[in-house]
Amino acid sequence: MSKTNINIAVLPGDGIGPEIMSEALRVFDAVKEKSKFTFTLEHGLIGGAAYDSCKSHFPEETRKLVNKSDVVLFGAVGGPVDKQQDEKWKGCEVNSILALRKELKLFANIRPVSISEKMIDISPLKLNPNKLPDLVIVRELLGDIYFGEKKRFFEGDLQVAEDICRYDSEQIEKIAHFAFSLARTRRKNVSSVDKANVLETSRLWREVVSKVSLEYPDVTLQHILVDNCAMQLITKPEAFDVVLCPNLFGDILSDAAAVIPGSLGVLASASKGAENKYLFEPPSGSAPDIAGMNIANPVGMISCVSMMFSVVFGENHISEMIKKAIDSVFDSGIFTKDLSNMARSKIVSTSQFVDEVLKKLK
């Protein structure tokens, strides 16, 4: 970043979004003085929350806000499963988060999954302390079945639905370069996920990724079928470094990989767009069933703040400080309810967990 004041758009959204956002901002406030940048935060409406006040899931005002901002901090959108047909929730995700990804041309989504040695007990998996998983899912975010044409029609009496799955070589090249460059900063290993034994888009994916890999002779590439990858992520997660995925497979595999740290609530993600725009969102979703109860895990959203400092500003020391604070709260046996299967653990509320993080930061 060449400028010194950073504009951050804060979009809490729905469900647990507002509570994890306000808690994560307490952590942001506690560390921001350590940055060489100054920050201007502006809140905006998105999702069902926006629909309530202006009958749109992505109002014009929010569109303007995200376009003038350098960074977007995004909570979650979406309503309860049994209310999807209500006006407020119909098409909410497509109209808000997917539209936002398109608006900011957020083509690359990075979802890191790791676990420190001290936290190994939290994982439901039997992990080897000498070979801990440390992987990054790189998910293409603007193509695939998510953005292809959608149709509903009748063939005689039969109702039919279609979602077109589409990729072009340029989209694949772009995300492949992103993944190989990232691998160069890590263990130089890319696993490219596809379903090339069935899908034409996957065969193109495989061809293009192989071609791009020739420009990175120092990085090892393996192609892996998505079903096999799902199994191996759980049985030998330590074998993966950068996992390069088309949009839909990346969505599914990132939830599967959440088994490694033990809860989806602890994961964070960063999306990179055109003109160096970034959006940070926890992949956990809006969890309407526990919204407003002060029991949601704030770690994913706090980790988004942590990632923002390293990814956007190169301030790894601030990012590490936050990570260490979270780890040491876990280490003292304090967890939110989603991780309550831990023996000898003390279960605290969302805000109490953040109180503890703030104590460690002091």
Give the binding site for Mg ion (CB under 5 A): 251
In angstroms, give the least distance from the CB of 93 to ligand IPM. 4
Which residues in the 139-168 window bind ligand IPM by CB under 6 A? none
97 binds, among Mg ion, ligand IPM, none (CB under 5 to 8 A by kind): ligand IPM
Q: Which two tokens stand for residue 330?
A: 């876990």
93 binds, among ligand IPM, Mg ion, none (CB under 5 to 8 A by kind): ligand IPM
What is the residue whose two structure tokens read 């953005």?
147
In angstroms, give the least distance from the CB of 77 to ligand IPM. 6
What is the residue whose two structure tokens read 């990858």?
229
Neighbouring-strand partners of residue 138 = 110, 244
**Which of 77/295 has CB closer to Mg ion?**
77
In angstroms, give the least distance from the CB of 211 to ligand IPM. 27
140 binds, among ligand IPM, Mg ion, none (CB under 5 to 8 A by kind): none
Indicate if 216 belongs to the active site. Answer: no
Considering 255, 324, 327, 337, which one is annotated as catalytic?
255
What DSSP letter does each residue of 326-341 carry, written as one string?
HHHHHHTTEE-GGGTT
CB 260 within 8 A of CB 239: no
Indicate if 227 belongs to the active site. Answer: yes
The answer to the question of residue 14 lying near ligand IPM (CB under 6 A) is no
State which amino acid sits at residue 51.
Y
Closest CA to 248 of 163, 134, 179: 163
Going residue by residue from 240 to 269, which x/- string records binding to ligand IPM, judged by CB under 6 A?
-----------x------------------
CB 283 within 8 A of CB 300: yes
In angstroms, give the least distance from the CB of 78 to Mg ion. 11
In angstroms, give the least distance from the CB of 354 to Mg ion. 24
Indicate if 51 belongs to the active site. Answer: no
Tell me phi and psi for residue 286, to 5 degrees: -85, -10
Roughly what angle, to the nearest 10 degrees, separates helices 299-311 and 17-31? Answer: 50
| H-helix segments, the chain | 17-31, 48-54, 60-68, 92-93, 99-103, 169-184, 200-213, 226-235, 247-257, 299-311, 316-331, 350-361
Query: CA torsion 234→236→237→240, rounded to 10°?
Result: -130
Residue number of the CB atom closest to ligand IPM: 93
Going residue by residue from 94 to 133, which x/- string records binding to ligand IPM, judged by CB under 6 A?
---x------------------------------------
Residue number of the CB atom closest to Mg ion: 251
What DSSP letter does each residue of 87-133 carry, written as one string?
TTTTTHHIIIIIHHHHHTT--EEEEEEE--GGGGGG-SS---TTS--
Beta strand 189-194 pairing with 242-245: parallel
In angstroms, give the least distance from the CB of 283 to Mg ion. 5
**Which of 19/251 has CB closer to Mg ion?**
251
Considering 14, 51, 146, 338, which one is annotated as catalytic?
146
Which residues in the 71-90 window bind ligand IPM by CB under 6 A? 78
Considering 86, 227, 289, 331, which one is annotated as catalytic?
227
In angstroms, give the least distance from the CB of 103 to Mg ion. 19
Indicate if 255 belongs to the active site. Answer: yes
Roughly what angle, to the nearest 10 degrees, separates helices 350-361 and 316-331? Answer: 120
Which residues in the 285-314 window bind ligand IPM by CB under 6 A? 285
**Which of 75/285 has CB closer to ligand IPM?**
285
Q: How many CA atoms lie within 13 A of 114 on its CB side?
A: 16
Indicate if 338 belongs to the active site. Answer: no
The answer to the question of residue 93 lying near ligand IPM (CB under 6 A) is yes
Considering 251, 277, 278, 338, which one is annotated as catalytic?
251
Residues at the site binding ligand IPM, with contacts judged by CB under 6 A: 78, 93, 97, 251, 283, 285
- By annotation, the residues acting in catalysis are 146, 195, 227, 251, 255
